[in-house]
Amino acid sequence: MKRDRTSGFLFPEMAPYTMREIGDAAEVERLSQVATDGNLVVPLRSMTDSVPGTQAPMLFDSRHIYRSADILVLGRYSRFEEVKAKSKPGWHGKMNRWEQGIDLECFRDYRAAEKAGGIPWIIVLRELRSPVDPTCRSKLIGPGMWLFAPLKPLWLHGHHVLDWPSKDDRGKGGKGGWLWPRSAMARLTEEAIRDVLDSCRS
């Protein structure tokens, strides 16, 4: 695996790294980015024994257990960040747009946890390859982009796809995925995140 000099991200060659390993690398890099931007960071990704019988980090109250995000950022712009590495966006021919997405079961859990806790959640994506022209079907090149968005616009503009990521693998719980237009996401910077969170408060 070679290091992309532009972003510091461990950029994958064809073998033998899995998307899980690449995802772990993205989470570690994002932790460093958030701390470097002057934030206080809690690496929730490592807290895997918070609820007995679960393998992933979890949040809970007196009635429910929720999947946790990877990172908790504390301060004026407190937020949960769920970090995902994606090999590339998908092209939706009928809707004529690039799309990204995650398991529907996870997305629903994140929305429920956001409502219960009152702290904003954002999805952070590290694309390994991104389209040359994001407005039309175009060549995908690397290194890709870091993108982010709060949950609300992804829910409002997204749609459910049962056979996601494939007919043979319908994600967690067999419920498929929640996909949204890639254009609903913005290029990741701390300033952009703070602008979005400010707009959500107003």
62-93 pLDDT, tens digit per residue, is 888 898 999 999 999 999 999 999 999 999 98
Structural domain boundaries, residue 80: 2-201
Identify the residue whose tokens are 């949950």.
151
Q: pLDDT tens across 141-199, in order?
A: 988 999 999 999 999 999 999 988 777 778 788 899 999 999 999 999 999 999 999 99
Greater model confidence, 168 or 26:
26
CATH number at residue 106: 3.40.1350.10
What tens digit of pLDDT does each residue of 113-151 get?
Answer: 999 999 999 999 999 999 999 999 999 998 899 999 999
| Domains in the chain, number | 1
Q: What is the pLDDT of residue 49?
A: 65
The C-alpha atoms of residue 187 and residue 202 are separated, in whole angstroms, by: 22
Could you give the CA distance from residue 195 to residue 156 in angstroms, rounded to a whole number? 20
Q: Are strands 159-161 and 71-74 parallel, antiparallel or unpaired?
A: unpaired
**pLDDT score of 8 more than 50:** no
The one-letter code for the residue type at 134 is: P
2 vs 46, more confident: 46
For residue 174, the model assigns a pLDDT of 87
Q: For all residues of the chain together, what is the average pLDDT?
A: 87
With beta carbons less than 8 A apart as the criterion, state whether 90 and 175 touch.
Answer: no
